[in-house]
């Protein structure tokens, strides 16, 4: 089936486009040569998973120029400044789009941001081939995105193993109970629950809350898509979500740093008073920003 035949399922079109891109990349740089580059690559900040395990709600802030559903989000795209603004405002990690066709991303954005900003960086792309995991390592990423909807169970296990061997974290994305079960059986340690159905790009803001109870203690839960207010983040924190991945709400803001600070929940103690509880509900000793 050719890419143009994928007319009804956006995710299938994205996956087909990624497969075609990987084929071109392999022709330009064979896997054996890419592996050599990985061996020579500077180790990325290994703290992506640790950043999400900190007390409170962690923020993965996305550097994104466009999307299939929203079109061009950031006509002026000073990606260096965007990443630095996020870091200065207290982001815990960054997500950088590298998918070029539908999101107008570029590997250059990731490479340069990873060198310039001292935060762990997720390569946000549609991983359909192990080659892309090695690419992420060579580019300086700290983590890769693995989407259950485009990977069978065996491939997901293999990709998680490769990421581990390269010292990369993996954000394993699910949308429903079936995909969650596959991810957990494969050994995923970081589950991203996407509120957006990638087949239709419709958003159900409470999808993460619906699946949160089925994610075992010790496995990180990240809410993705449809997060645009402090009320959203407070509700997620109250329900045991560990982190949020936020893109459009920040990219459209005139002051991205202020927008990030405004999204932070006002965390409360069990008696309802303002406080700074850890994710376990105990009062933490960190400073609220």
Domain ranges of the chain: 3-263
CA-closest candidate to residue 81, choices 107, 112, 51: 112
Concerning whether 12 is annotated as a catalytic residue, the answer is no
What would the pLDDT profile of 2-18 be if each residue is shown by its tens digit?
Answer: 333 333 588 889 999 99
Whole-number pLDDT of residue 277: 40
Residue keyed to tokens 């991205």:
256
What would the pLDDT profile of 104-117 be if each residue is shown by its tens digit?
Answer: 999 999 999 999 99
Whole-number pLDDT of residue 195: 85
Whole-number pLDDT of residue 75: 87
Q: Which residues pair with 193 in a beta bridge?
A: 174, 223
> What is the arithmetic mean of pLDDT over 196-207?
74
Could you tell me which residue, 23 or 248, shows the higher pLDDT?
23
Concerning whether 267 is annotated as a catalytic residue, the answer is no
Of the pLDDT bands very low, low, confident and very high (cuts 50, 70, 90), residue 288 is: very low
Catalytic one of 12, 62, 99, 267:
62
Q: Which residues pair with 95 in a beta bridge?
A: 62, 122
Residue 262 has which token pair?
């405004």
Concerning whether 161 is annotated as a catalytic residue, the answer is no
Residue 282 has pLDDT above 50, yes or no: no
Whole-number pLDDT of residue 272: 54
Catalytic one of 12, 173, 179, 248:
173
Concerning whether 181 is annotated as a catalytic residue, the answer is no
Catalytic one of 224, 248, 267, 279:
224
Residue 119 has pLDDT above 80, yes or no: yes
Whole-number pLDDT of residue 11: 87
* pTM score, whole prediction: 0.88
DSSP state of 117: S
What would the pLDDT profile of 223-261 be if each residue is shown by its tens digit?
Answer: 998 898 999 999 999 999 999 999 989 999 989 999 999
| Superfamily (CATH H level) for 3-263 | Aldolase class I (3.20.20.70)
Q: Residues 249, 243: contact at Cβ < 8 Å?
A: no
Q: At what angle do helices 230-238 and 256-263 cross, to 10 degrees?
A: 40
Concerning whether 62 is annotated as a catalytic residue, the answer is yes
Residue keyed to tokens 């079960």:
181
Of the pLDDT bands very low, low, confident and very high (cuts 50, 70, 90), residue 281 is: very low
CA-closest candidate to residue 127, choices 43, 4, 244, 17: 17
Catalytic one of 225, 248, 267, 279:
225
β-pairing, 66-67 vs 71-72, is antiparallel
Catalytic one of 58, 64, 195, 267:
64
Q: In angstroms, rounded to a whole number, what is the distance separating the alpha carbons of residues 41 and 36?
A: 9
Residue keyed to tokens 């394993």:
172
Mean pLDDT of the chain: 87
Residue 24 has pLDDT above 70, yes or no: yes
What would the pLDDT profile of 139-158 be if each residue is shown by its tens digit?
Answer: 999 999 999 999 999 999 99
């Amino acid at each position: 089936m050719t890419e143009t035949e994928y007319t009804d399922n956006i995710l299938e079109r994205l996956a087909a486009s990624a497969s075609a891109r990987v084929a071109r990349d392999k022709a330009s740089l064979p896997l054996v040569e890419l592996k050599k580059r990985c061996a020579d690559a500077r180790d990325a900040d290994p703290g992506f998973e640790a950043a999400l395990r900190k007390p409170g709600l962690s923020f993965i802030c996305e550097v994104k120029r466009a999307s299939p559903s929203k079109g061009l989000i950031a006509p002026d795209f000073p990606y260096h400044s965007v990443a630095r603004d996020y870091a200065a405002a207290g982001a815990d990690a960054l997500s950088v789009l590298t998918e070029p066709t539908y999101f107008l991303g570029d590997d250059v954005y990731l490479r340069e941001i990873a060198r310039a900003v001292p935060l762990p960086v997720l390569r946000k792309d549609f991983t359909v081939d192990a080659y892309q995991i090695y690419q992420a390592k060579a580019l300086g990423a700290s983590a890769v995105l693995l989407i259950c909807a485009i990977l069978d169970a065996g491939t997901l296990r293999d990709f998680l193993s490769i990421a581990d061997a390269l010292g990369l974290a993996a954000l394993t994305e699910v949308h429903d109970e079936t995909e969650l079960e596959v991810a957990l059986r494969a050994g995923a340690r970081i589950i991203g629950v996407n509120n957006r159905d990638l087949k239709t790009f419709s958003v159900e803001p409470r999808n993460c809350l619906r699946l949160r109870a089925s994610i075992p203690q010790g496995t990180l839960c990240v809410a993705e898509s449809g997060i645009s207010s402090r009320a959203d983040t407070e509700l997620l924190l109250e329900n045991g979500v560990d982190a949020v991945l936020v893109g459009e709400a920040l990219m459209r803001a005139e002051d991205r740093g202020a927008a990030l600070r405004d999204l932070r929940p006002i965390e409360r103690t069990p008696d309802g008073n303002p406080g700074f509880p850890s994710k376990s509900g105990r009062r933490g000793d960190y400073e609220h920003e």
